[in-house]
Structure 1
Amino acid sequence: MEAPPGEPGQQRPLREPAAAEREAAEGEPILLAELKPGQPQQYDWKSSCETWSVAFSPDGTWFAWSQGHCIVKLLPWPLEGTQQNCKASECMKAEARGRGRVKEKTLECGQIVWGLAFSSWLPSRSRKHILWAPSPACLVLATGLNDGQIKVWEVQTGRLLFNLSGHQDVVRDLSFAPGDSRSILISASRDKTLRVWDLSQNGKQLKVLSGHMRWVYCCCTSPDGRMLCSAAGEKSALLWSMDSYSLLRKLEGHQGCVVSCAFSPDSALLATASYDTYVILWDPCTGEQLKSLCHVPLQPALDHGADFHASSLRSACFSPEGLYLATVADDRLLRIWALELGSPVAFAPVKNGLCCTYFPHGGIIATGTRDGHAQFWTVPQALSSLKHLCRKVLRSCFTTYQVLKLPIPKKMKDFLTYRTL
């Protein structure tokens, strides 16, 4: 049921519990809820109603939805009505009940919103014009806009904290550095540059990274904080050092424009997705190609009766435990890939999908579409083997080169470096 005008946060009715349990047992994704913009849909492609980005906060308590029309919705998670169906932990559900008074917020950005990124950081005590106690971490949301501006908001209050200027064109993507550097924000723009900002220094611009010859579509930082990946309308991706912000290597292998990139949770894998219908899994430490995943179109082309780019990729993201990869393509399908199998294990019908992101604790994935919708799907989960858990812990601390120097059997080295994919 479509949300009526003026109620953009309303969700679709959920399926019958019995049906949901039956489909979950079969492993097929279940549509838990769907958000639709309150404004009427426009059919002109210039209407700017697209959901270019969706994001969960790192602690899983908020969901951000760039619903088009220059608006971002901040919604407390779990959404009302989904607590019984989503596989959230009991402590999260209790926390959600305790936050019962927290309501959704509407951020009027004034420009088309392309990129979203959450982070928590400690505000500087020197910021006299921000009226809050600086001791607790502040959950913030960065929004990349059509005019090259970046607006950073305090999630709890919906208050604008920073308006960062420097880019000369669309800010297409945003990524916060992890860990102790979480005040560092990376932005990717159509002006062919990446820029580095430090929120702890009043949003000071630290560096401008040049090297791409075309629009920069995406950027992502590795969970260990060592590397940054960026991709433009080129057939390659660039890897940068997060310590020196210098170029480490160029990853070449795609035959089409690379439009999405993502690191695995242990930073040992990098996935790049391209219009050539392939996802390539790389070892970011060595630059070696480990595996290619080919999107064979299962449905006819969508537009103009042509089959060109019928299965062009739009977005890719790893599951929190690192065993699955989700991709959205132009053939109206969300695919969930099992990395060990190298093939999709589940499909969901996502029409005109543009982006996807996993819930931080797994089990749910959110997708955004060209008509401004946000959808929430249950997705397969697997109990990580002890071997994988050990690999994940080790690779979060050791690079490929360090693993190769260990006095252990070659088969064990191959497993730890994902050469067995």
Structure 2
Amino acid sequence: MCSTGNNAELQPSASDPALILELKTRRPLSLEGRPGCETWSVDFSPDGAWFAWSMGHGIVWVVAWPLDSEEGLKEDIDRGDKSFSCGQPVWGLAFGPRPPKNTDASCPVKREKKGLKNSTLLLATGLESGVIKIWNVLTGDAVFDLYGHEGVVRNLVFPQNGSLTLVSSSRDKTLRIWDLTHKGKKVQVLSGHKDWVSSCCVSSDCSMIASVGRFDRMVCLWSLRSYTFIRKLSGGTQKTLYLLSSCDFSPDGALLATAAFSGSSWWIDLWDPYTAEKLATLADYFEDYGQKISAIQFSPNGLHLAIVTDDRPLRIWEPGEKGMVMQTKSDLRSNGLCCNYHPGGGVVATGTRDGYVRFWRASRTVPSLSHLCRFTIRYSVSTYQMEPLPLPKRILEYLTYRNIPDHLRTCCSSDDEWET
């Protein structure tokens, strides 16, 4: 079904030192390059033991991670490769439920009901018709289907509290929140976008959902607790006409990154989701090339932001100090569509329009003590709760991410693969 490239640690590549390996589909030549073979979505399981890949033509491939591990393949038959035939193009997928990070009462875990357990490893796949298929990864069985969306299901997210809740966004202009303990029969519909909802994400404390509308130019925040609209984010860089493609919360929930396009220019905005303040804009860096940003994602430690574009397989940006930490060489064949960090960090998976997946070695920078403190505090304390505290201005700016250096707000382009 697929073939793997060489492991970069064994046979380093002079042209792409960050490339670890590549997966390619073994499809007939008559299907190569034709619509339907795109890799629209990739994901790692919450424990990092599985990797899922929408490999085109309605097929999702799930493999044990790491791919070069022989232990799972020899000793545990359930850890072998699995193929799920969905019958339609798969635009979005997500593993769940995600195990809880803490026992905070504000982020409750729903109890097991009707045989579907929180410990069950599920895979949700969003199809072109609007149907969402739920699979049991370990058995390979289809559990049930979710009906309601009337357009392509573009994005799927399981909140990080381990509950059997699934958030979906669609081209039918809505988001839906499904309760899988009731097989999706209990569903909340969030309406307000005027056109396609191209991406959605959930904050780490499970309180907010962010969504971006591709053509209506709206960045919306919703309450995951009351299922109501909170606010729309706007302001900052002025563009006459623009589209929105992707969004992601930082792991501590204190930042929201959004990617936007206008004419031949793309940029990334960083927002404070609590105050609706725009903290910084990564602009101009992409203007000379006119490429499209397809996806962005924060690293698990919150230090870096992965960026996938049409002309380069991967860029990694550090909002705090250095700016662009890594960028692969220009590759007009990359046509990047999606990206996803391994939950343990160190690896980023990217998918292409040609139906391939590449795995890249990402920075394993050890967080500073100050960042760890900020990360811990902001995970449970909002900006509104921070601002009244009797703290020195410099510390307050750091804790609220208002200290991003001015030279990073408008970055200059560089062809360097690695910057120190």
TM bucket normalised to smaller = 0.7 to 0.9
Q: How many Å separate the matches in 2 of 1:264 and 1:341?
A: 16
Q: What residue is the counterpart of 1:273 in the other structure?
A: 259
Aligned counterpart in structure 1 of residue 351 of structure 2, from 364, 368, 376: 368
Deviations 1:80-102 (A, max 9, x none): 2xx6xxxxxxxxx9888864762
Residue 93 of structure 2 corresponds to residue 116 of structure 1:
yes
The Cα of 1:348 is off from its aligned counterpart by 1.8
Question: Post-superposition shift, 1:407?
Answer: 2.1
TM-score scaled by length of structure 2: 0.85
How far apart in 1 are the matches of 2:342 and 2:194?
Answer: 34
User: Percent identity over the alignment?
Assistant: 45
For 1:215-254, list aligned pairs within 5 A: 215-233=196-214, 234-253=216-235
Pair 290,95 (structure 1): closer, same or farther in 2 beyond 3 Å: farther
Aligned counterparts of 2:284 and 2:93: Cα–Cα separation in 1: 26
Q: Which residue of 2 aligns with 1:199?
A: 180
Q: Determine helix, strand or coil for the equivalent of 1:152.
A: strand
Amino acid at match of 2:171: R
Q: Does 2:152 correspond to 1:170?
A: yes
Cα distance in 2 for residues equivalent to 1:372 and 1:185? 26
Instruction: Mark the CA change 1:235 to 1:298 in structure 2 (over 3 Å): closer, same or farther.
Output: closer
Equivalent residues of 1:296, 1:311 under 8 A apart:
no
CA contact (8 A) 1:152 1:162 kept: yes
CA contact (8 A) 2:249 2:257 kept: yes
Equivalent residue for 1:303? none
Distance change >3 Å, CA 15–CA 206, structure 1 → 2:
closer
Task: State the match for 2:328 in structure 1.
Answer: 348
Kept in 2: contact 1:293–1:342 (CA 8 A):
no
Q: Aligned equivalents of 1:363 and 1:109: distance in 2? A: 31
Runs of at least 5 residues in structure 1 that lack an aligned partner in the other structure: 1-6, 84-92, 301-309
Q: Given that residues 78 and 139 in structure 2 are in contact (C-alpha distance below 8 angstroms), is that contact kept between their aligned partners in structure 1?
A: no
Deviation at 1:55, TM superposition (A): 0.4
Of 318, 331, 335, the match for 1:338: 318
Between the aligned partners of 1:410 and 1:97, the Cα distance in structure 2 is: 58
Alignment partner of 1:37 is 2:20: no
Residue 359 of structure 1: aligned partner: 342
Q: Distance in 1 between matches of 2:17 and 2:385?
A: 39
Aligned partners of 1:334, 1:355: CA distance in 2, in Å? Answer: 10
Give the match for residue 306 of structure 1.
Answer: none
Cα distance in 2 between the residues matched to 1:120 and 1:140: 7
Displacement, 1:158?
1.1
Within 2, Cα distance between the matches of 1:41 and 1:257? 34
Q: TM-score, normalised by structure 1?
A: 0.85
1:15 aligns with 2:4: no
Q: What pairs up with 1:93-112 in 2 under 5 angstroms?
A: 99=76, 102-112=79-89
**Residues 79/112 of structure 1: CA separation in 2 closer, same or farther (3 Å cut):** same
**Are 1:61 and 2:49 counterparts?**
yes
Give 1:332 deviation, angstroms: 2.5
Query: Once the 2 structures are TM-superposed, how far is the Cα of residue 29 of structure 1 from its aligned partner?
Result: 5.2
Q: Give the C-alpha shift of residue 274 in structure 1.
A: 1.4
Q: 1:285 aligns with which of 274, 277, 283?
A: 274
The 1-side partners of 2:277 and 2:9 are apart by 47
Deviation at 1:123, TM superposition (A): 8.0
Alignment check: 8 A CA contact 1:293 1:343 kept? no
Which shifted more, 228-237 or 372-381? 228-237
1:258 corresponding residue in structure 2: 244
Distance 1:29 1:295 in 2: 27
Q: Secondary structure at the match of 1:169?
A: coil
- The whole-number CA distance in structure 2 between the counterparts of 1:408 and 1:123 is 41
Query: Aligned equivalents of 1:96 and 1:322: distance in 2?
Result: 33
5+ unaligned residues in a row in structure 2: which ranges? Answer: 99-109, 405-420
SS at 2:374's partner residue? Answer: helix
2:131 to 131, 135, 149: 149
Counterpart of 2:142? 160
Structure 2 counterpart of 1:176, which letter?
A: F
CA contact (8 A) 2:313 2:350 kept: no
Residue 397, structure 1, aligned to residue 383, structure 2: no
Q: Distance in 2 between matches of 1:42 and 1:213?
A: 39
Q: For residues 287 and 193 of structure 2, what CA distance do their matches in structure 1 show?
A: 33
Separation of aligned partners in 2, 1:16 and 1:363: 13
Contact 2:33 2:354 in 1 (8 A): no
CA distance in 1: counterparts of 2:340 and 2:347, whole angstroms? 9
Corresponding residue of 2:416: none
Given residue 124 of structure 2, which amino acid in structure 1 is its aligned partner?
A
Kindly indicate whether the alpha-carbon contact (under 8 Å) linking 2:160 and 2:206 is maintained by their aligned counterparts in 1.
yes
* 8 Å CA contact retained: 1:193, 1:212: yes
Contact 1:29 1:380 in 2 (8 A): no
Match of 2:91, as an amino acid?
W
2:292 aligned residue: 312
Q: CA deviation at 1:412?
A: 1.1
Aligned residues: 382
> What amino acid maps onto 2:226 in structure 1?
S
Q: Any conservation in 1 of the 2:73–2:79 contact (CA below 8 Å)?
A: no
- Cα RMSD, aligned residues only: 2.5
